[in-house]
Amino acid sequence: MNLDSRKLKILTAIVEIYIETGEPVSSKMLNQRLDLSVSPATIRNDMSALFDLGLLEQPHTSAGRVPSHLGYRIYVDQLMRPKPISEEERRQIDALFNVRDPDPDRLLEDAAEALADFTNCATVSTTITPKSVLVKRIEIVPAGIRTVVILLIATNGVIKNRVCRVDFRVTGEILEFLNQFTNGRLVGKSVNEISQRYINAIAVTLGDYSQLFTPVLAAVYDLCREVNEGQFYASGGENLLGYREFGDIARELLQTMHDKDQILGLIGSKKDAVFITIGKENTKSELTDTSVVVTKYRIGAQNEGAIGVIGPVRMDYAKLIPHLEYFSRTLGKLLAETFEQQE
């Protein structure tokens, strides 16, 4: 789509004014904003041309225009000038993590909440487990006469634990056997490959003891699945209720935001470090009036994560993207340090 420089300036101004005000933009407003040395009639003609190209829309009977979702896409891809994050803003983000729990799950949850407060949008925070992650060690320790604690450590530094009640008396001899058995069958195996079928298959090799030890093996399987699925937290859904464009779809939008499979499907379908889906580019109908901005980040050598913002299409992309990139890099660094401390 070829547009001359004046039309590009007009489109940029309309997007930025609408982001600031949320009100349709008139030719008079553009004439005051831009120094184009042309008549208001020329500006109106250029706005009509942008409208005909599908880059602008006219809401109801208003004399003004608003950007279409295609108009936003051209703005984000070609016209937007990111607003550099200031040192003060960096310090504000750093301060969000100054008091933090060493538990990675808690850190991710706190990050989602902090970003929701910072952006006044909804946020999601997740880790993504590569298929190369293996079971490093399993420890089964006594917690009572008929209770054990199962600790699973993965090669990416993630540690999971679970309390498991059993139908036998916990003795040192039984614990030694269970530790040798589970480590012998699972250590060095990819958490992605440890399926329910595989657990059932190794349970069969226990013979008459299969049913007795099934609760322990089931708990080990659940821990492997948790490591493989990564962590996922959503926060700030109530922020969306403050935007008038979400009035009719707020309930559906909140349900989608907390649907882990749908959100991970959206994130996993993209390979870029930063990606944005705008309005109707979202395949889910309840997201067609939203924009989703996601940044991916590294957590050490074997992990990656993603943190994203869900908000109105008229969000301030130029400001949000640099902030989100810095936020995600900081979170990735802290998570890497936390995983290293736990090993």
Q: What is the CATH number of the domain that holds 305?
A: 3.30.450.40
Could you say which of 202, 229, 256 is where a domain stops?
A: 229
| Contact between 188 and 172 (Cβ < 8 Å) | no
- Residue 128 token pair: 């993504």
Same domain, 74 and 92: no
Same domain, 278 and 147: no
> How far is the first Cα of the chain from the last one, in angstroms, to the nearest whole number?
54
Cα atoms in the 13 Å half-sphere on the side-chain side of 286: 17
Q: How high is the pLDDT of residue 219?
A: 96
Tens of pLDDT along the chain (343 residues) come to 678 999 999 999 999 999 999 889 999 889 888 888 888 889 999 999 999 999 999 987 777 899 999 999 999 999 999 999 999 988 888 887 765 555 667 778 888 888 898 889 999 888 878 888 899 999 999 999 999 999 999 988 788 999 999 999 999 999 999 999 999 999 999 999 999 999 999 999 999 899 899 999 999 999 999 999 888 888 988 888 888 778 777 777 878 877 777 777 777 666 678 889 998 888 777 788 899 999 988 876 666 788 889 999 999 999 999 999 998 888 888 887 776 655 5
Same domain, 117 and 245: yes
Same domain, 99 and 117: yes
Amino acid at residue number 269: S
Same domain, 185 and 216: yes
Same domain, 113 and 258: yes
Same domain, 293 and 242: yes
| Contact between 153 and 137 (Cβ < 8 Å) | yes
CATH number of the CATH domain containing 31: 1.10.10.10
> What pTM was computed for the model?
0.78
Same domain, 263 and 114: yes
CA distance 221 to 160: 11
Q: How high is the pLDDT of residue 147?
A: 96
Same domain, 215 and 242: no
Q: What angle do CA 147, 148, 153 make, to 5 degrees?
A: 160
Same domain, 189 and 102: no
Tally the residues of the chain.
343
Could you say which of 172, 205, 229 is where a domain stops?
A: 229
Could you say which of 176, 198, 229 is where a domain stops?
A: 229
β-strand pairing of 274-278 with 66-67 = unpaired
Residues 6+ apart with CB under 8 A from 146: 165, 166, 167, 168, 169, 170
Same domain, 220 and 238: no
Q: What is the Rg, in whole angstroms, of the alpha carbon atoms belonging to the chain?
A: 26
CATH number of the CATH domain containing 155: 3.30.390.60
Q: How high is the pLDDT of residue 302?
A: 60
Q: Could you tell me the residue range of the domain that residue 111 belongs to?
A: 87-129+230-342
Q: How many domains does the chain have?
A: 3
Same domain, 74 and 91: no
